[in-house]
């Protein structure tokens, strides 16, 4: 039975990807896919050392677990893994990858083993004196052996029997090639024969050198075996670490292979989303050479693909399933990553091939029913069904598949179905959870376009396809007569419907683009307006700062030397400030009356209007409450009808002559109350009042405390006290 990758034509793609592994393994990764994706993204940002190829070491792990002795090359494989992780620590990887690598703590005893190896995987003679002496003796012996053979090959005694003067290596032995009869002039043992009937001989005169070489090699093996015993014992001691480091090497191998594969082919990673939506943008199936990119969205339970034969219906099905498969395994592929989205599905099924089998005595339709029966045990899967009507009567199959598809989608199964069943398409087309897709056909060129139209039923173009592939025209004409004029008219209506809908969608797309352009212009104008308003606000703020500084200096001067004329001039300044505020409000009028709960914009911030108090408002922006001028707020959203302004609540001050003898500060903020109280007392001093009253209420007592603290430092006050029987009023004597 074919695997899912074979059904989706991904075998070559997978094999190509696996060539980037350091050692062969399955492509699936265990664990949290989101964490894997974060590590892959981090690794994609840096250049890292090329990973070293090592064999699978599961057997070796079992051996050291049982206190066995590994061979030198097996020990070196583990040493290669550890050395590679050490090299990764040295380059400083980005987070969270760097934290993972840094936390791999290699035991000192295992780290020391690395020092005993050369780059070729041999024991370094510099670390072991006995091994150094053996290697030195082997070199001397080999030199003597080579020199002896050279002299024999050029001796006059053996000259007539030599085939050539070269030294030949046969089965690891240095030999000379001679003709028959050589034993008349030299004693030697025959090692082998050439295809030409010549003899490879080992002269007895060098046998003692060969024996010495064998003895030295044996001693070297003994030394190496002692090291293997020692290293294997250390590995057994740290068995859990060895198993861990072997597993982590596979994990990093998964990451680096994906990164290098993506870099080699300019592929993109798509992390599966939690939704059941597939949105492909510029997707190219890796099995197709020079493909037409697929742009398709599937956000419904069933996608029904109809239309022209050989028009790419099956490849669309395979493209959607392939995108899910590759995304599920974090395999990169070609697409526009910013516009591509692939949902998460528990499993992927492809009902594509003809299941008919003589061996199993099963028909095409029966085989399809066996595959569909298995789906009733699945949940949250995505299933592709190619040519759903295969093997039985089309009208009966339409009713049967309609019911089965309805039942299976209740189990969270998403279907991508290709069909030529116009009855099935018409039965399911009215369902809001079914997406109709038509494969399009170019009438002028008489070729499929390999593009698709959503929301329409496509025509099969069976006669046109047959003619395109060489069936004689007169055969096609007779077939059309047999097919019937009424059905042909039906297909023409379907074709016209498809063409009209395609034109309509193109016009809608054009209008949408124009609308987006208008929206962009509107946003630009609003941005310019906000910028100008901000410049205007800053200019007003500068003037107000200058005014406040001058007023503060005047107040300080009055405190030094109190005078009625100074108070009068200060009151005139307050009047000018009021006129300035009125002018500012006239320049920036509120076109829309704001109310509590409105969504508003203040400068570049957006928030909610919590309350309005006079000419100021309290808004909340990102959880932070702010009190701002009401005139600087702009309502977001559609503008309501302009309503008449309601009378504003103002401070009620009873006046007598030029000044007032009482002031109500109920409900005022602290700074607002002090500002009004300062003006009130200034007016009272100018008017010559001997006493006034301040109505502040009881409440929480905060406002009363602020007013009391202010009165304690205010100049020209004789005394003040609370009114008897009413704690919400303070009497001030000037």
Residue-wise pLDDT for 594-635, tens only, equals: 888 888 888 777 889 898 888 888 988 877 788 888 888 888
Radius of gyration of the chain, Cα coordinates, nearest whole angstrom: 46
Specify the pLDDT at position 52: 92
Delimit the domains of the chain by residue range.
4-107+238-265, 127-224, 278-475, 590-639, 655-733
Q: What is the mean pLDDT of residues 296-317?
A: 84
Specify the pLDDT at position 158: 87
Q: What is the DSSP letter of 449?
A: E
Q: What is the mean pLDDT of residues 390-406?
A: 75
Lowest mean pLDDT among 185-189, 725-729, 730-734: 725-729
Query: Is the pLDDT confidence value at 54 over 90?
Result: yes
Nearest to 692 by CA among 725, 727, 712, 718: 718
Query: Is the pLDDT confidence value at 487 over 70?
Result: no
Q: What is the mean pLDDT of residues 40-63?
A: 94
pTM of the entire structure?
0.60
Separation of alpha carbons 258 and 13, rounded Å: 12
Looking at domain 590-639, which CATH architecture does it have? Answer: Roll (2.30)
Specify the pLDDT at position 577: 64
Looking at domain 655-733, which CATH architecture does it have? Answer: 2-Layer Sandwich (3.30)
Specify the pLDDT at position 649: 39
Q: Grade residue 169 by pLDDT with cuts at 50, 70 and 90.
A: confident
The answer to whether 658 and 686 are in contact (CB under 8 A) is yes
Joined tokens for residue 689: 């009042």
For residue 519, the tally of other CB atoms under 10 A from its CB is 10
Q: How far is CA 30 from CA 26, 234, 248, 251, 276, in A?
A: 11, 29, 12, 9, 22
| H or E element, residue 554 | helix 485-560
Joined tokens for residue 155: 């001796």
Identify the residue with better confidence: 446 or 176: 176
Question: What pLDDT, in 10s, does the model give residues 548-571?
Answer: 777 777 666 666 665 666 666 666
Query: Is the pLDDT confidence value at 361 over 50?
Result: no
Tokens 């050395």 correspond to: 83
| H or E element, residue 535 | helix 485-560
Query: Is the pLDDT confidence value at 102 over 50?
Result: yes
Q: What is the mean pLDDT of residues 283-307?
A: 90
For residue 350, the tally of other CB atoms under 10 A from its CB is 24
Specify the pLDDT at position 290: 87
Q: What is the mean pLDDT of residues 274-282?
A: 92
Identify the residue with better confidence: 451 or 553: 451
Separation of alpha carbons 287 and 387, rounded Å: 21
Q: What is the mean pLDDT of residues 414-427?
A: 79
Q: How high does pLDDT run on average in the chain?
A: 82
Contacts of residue 558, Cβ cutoff 8 Å, sequence gap at least 6: 566, 567, 570, 715
Query: Is the pLDDT confidence value at 167 over 90?
Result: no
Contacts of residue 719, Cβ cutoff 8 Å, sequence gap at least 6: 732, 733
Query: Is the pLDDT confidence value at 643 over 90?
Result: no
Q: What is the mean pLDDT of residues 144-160?
A: 86
Q: Grade residue 445 by pLDDT with cuts at 50, 70 and 90.
A: low
Query: Is the pLDDT confidence value at 156 over 90?
Result: no
Lowest mean pLDDT among 32-36, 207-211, 253-257, 437-441: 437-441
Calculate what percentage of the chain has a pLDDT beyond 90.
Answer: 33
Query: Is the pLDDT confidence value at 644 over 50?
Result: no
Query: Is the pLDDT confidence value at 360 over 90?
Result: no
The CATH number of 127-224 is 1.10.1420.10
Specify the pLDDT at position 712: 84
Identify the residue with better confidence: 639 or 201: 201
Calculate what percentage of the chain has a pLDDT beyond 70.
Answer: 80
Q: Grade residue 657 by pLDDT with cuts at 50, 70 and 90.
A: very low
Specify the pLDDT at position 586: 52
Highest mean pLDDT among 45-59, 300-314, 490-504, 522-536: 45-59
Q: What is the mean pLDDT of residues 356-366?
A: 55
Task: Classify 154 as helix, strand or coil.
Answer: coil
Specify the pLDDT at position 666: 82
Query: Is the pLDDT confidence value at 260 over 90?
Result: yes
Identify the residue with better confidence: 510 or 727: 510
Joined tokens for residue 645: 């302004």
Lowest mean pLDDT among 201-210, 494-503, 642-651: 642-651
The answer to whether 340 and 281 are in contact (CB under 8 A) is yes
Identify the residue with better confidence: 352 or 62: 62
Separation of alpha carbons 417 and 358, rounded Å: 26
The answer to whether 259 and 49 are in contact (CB under 8 A) is no
Separation of alpha carbons 23 and 250, rounded Å: 8
* 278-475 matches 655-733 in fold: no
Lowest mean pLDDT among 497-506, 522-531, 680-689: 497-506
Lowest mean pLDDT among 77-86, 332-341, 581-590: 581-590
Query: Is the pLDDT confidence value at 123 over 50?
Result: yes
In CATH terms, the fold of domain 278-475 is Rossmann fold (3.40.50)
Lowest mean pLDDT among 17-26, 134-143, 236-245: 134-143
Query: Is the pLDDT confidence value at 311 over 50?
Result: yes
Q: What is the mean pLDDT of residues 176-183?
A: 88
Q: Grade residue 580 by pLDDT with cuts at 50, 70 and 90.
A: low
């Amino acid at each position: 039975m074919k695997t899912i990758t074979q059904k989706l034509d991904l075998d070559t793609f997978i094999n190509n990807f696996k060539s980037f592994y350091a050692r062969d393994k399955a492509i699936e990764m265990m664990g949290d896919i989101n964490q894997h994706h974060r590590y892959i993204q981090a690794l994609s940002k840096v250049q890292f050392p090329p990973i070293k190829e090592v064999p699978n070491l599961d057997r070796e792990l079992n051996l050291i677990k049982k206190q066995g002795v590994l061979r030198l090359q097996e020990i070196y494989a583990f040493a290669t893994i550890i050395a590679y992780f050490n090299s990764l620590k040295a380059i400083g990887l980005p987070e969270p990858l760097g934290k993972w690598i840094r936390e791999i703590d290699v035991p000192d005893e295992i780290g020391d083993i690395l020092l005993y190896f050369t780059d070729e995987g041999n024991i370094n003679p510099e670390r072991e004196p006995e091994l150094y002496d053996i290697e030195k003796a082997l070199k001397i012996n080999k030199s003597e052996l080579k020199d002896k053979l050279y002299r024999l090959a050029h001796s006059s005694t053996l000259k007539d029997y030599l085939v050539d003067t070269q030294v030949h290596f046969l089965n690891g032995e240095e030999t000379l090639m001679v003709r028959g009869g050589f034993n008349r002039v030299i004693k030697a043992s025959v090692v082998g024969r050439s295809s030409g009937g010549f003899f490879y001989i080992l002269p007895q005169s060098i046998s003692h050198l060969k024996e010495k070489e064998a003895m030295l090699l044996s001693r070297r093996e003994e030394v190496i075996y002692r090291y293997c015993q020692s290293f294997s014992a250390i590995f057994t001691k740290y068995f859990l670490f060895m198993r861990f480091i072997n597993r982590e090497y596979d994990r990093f191998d998964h990451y680096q292979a994906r990164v290098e594969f993506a870099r080699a082919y300019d592929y993109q990673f798509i992390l599966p989303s939690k939704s059941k939506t597939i949105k492909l943008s510029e997707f190219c199936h890796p099995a197709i050479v020079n493909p037409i990119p697929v742009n398709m969205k599937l956000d419904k339970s069933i996608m029904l693909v109809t239309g022209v034969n050989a028009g790419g219906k099956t490849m669309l099905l395979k493209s959607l399933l392939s995108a899910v498969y590759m995304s599920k395994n974090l395999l990169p592929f070609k697409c526009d990553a910013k516009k591509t989205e692939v949902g998460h599905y528990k499993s992927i099924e492809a009902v594509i091939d003809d299941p008919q089998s003589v061996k199993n005595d099963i028909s095409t339709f029966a085989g399809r029913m066996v595959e569909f029966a298995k789906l009733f045990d699945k949940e949250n899967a995505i299933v592709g069904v190619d040519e759903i009507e295969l093997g039985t009567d089309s009208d009966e199959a339409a009713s049967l598949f309609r019911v089965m598809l309805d039942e299976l989608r209740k189990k969270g199964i998403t279907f991508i179905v290709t069909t030529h069943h116009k009855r099935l398409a018409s039965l399911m087309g009215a369902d809001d959870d079914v997406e109709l897709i038509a494969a399009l056909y170019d009438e002028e060129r008489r070729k499929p376009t390999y593009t698709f139209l959503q929301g329409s039923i496509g025509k099969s173009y069976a006669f046109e396809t047959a003619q395109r592939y060489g069936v004689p025209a007169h055969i096609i004409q007779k077939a059309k007569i047999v097919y019937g004029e009424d059905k042909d008219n039906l297909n023409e209506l379907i074709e016209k419907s498809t063409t009209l809908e395609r034109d309509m969608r193109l016009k809608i797309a054009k209008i949408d683009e124009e609308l987006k352009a208008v929206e962009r212009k509107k946003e630009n104008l609003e941005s310019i307006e906000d910028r100008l308003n901000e410049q205007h606000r800053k200019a007003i703020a500068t003037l107000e700062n200058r005014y406040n500084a001058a007023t503060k200096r005047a107040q300080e001067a009055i405190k030094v030397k109190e005078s009625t004329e100074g108070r009068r001039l200060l009151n005139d300044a307050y009047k000018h400030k009021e006129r300035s505020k009125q002018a500012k409000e006239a320049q920036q009028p509120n076109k829309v009356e704001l109310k509590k709960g409105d969504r508003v914009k203040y400068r570049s911030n957006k928030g909610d209007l919590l309350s309005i108090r006079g000419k100021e408002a309290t808004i909340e922006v990102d959880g932070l409450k702010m009190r701002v001028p009401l005139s600087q707020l702009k309502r977001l959203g559609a503008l309501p009808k302009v309503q008449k302004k309601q009378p504003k609540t103002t401070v009620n001050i009873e006046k007598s002559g030029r000044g007032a003898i009482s002031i109500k500060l109920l409900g005022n903020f602290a700074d607002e109350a002090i500002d009004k109280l300062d003006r009130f007392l200034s007016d009272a001093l100018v008017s010559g009042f001997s006493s006034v009253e301040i109505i502040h209420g009881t409440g929480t007592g905060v406002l009363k405390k602020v007013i009391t603290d202010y009165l304690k430092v205010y100049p020209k006050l004789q005394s003040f006290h609370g009114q008897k029987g009413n704690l919400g009023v303070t009497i001030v004597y000037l």
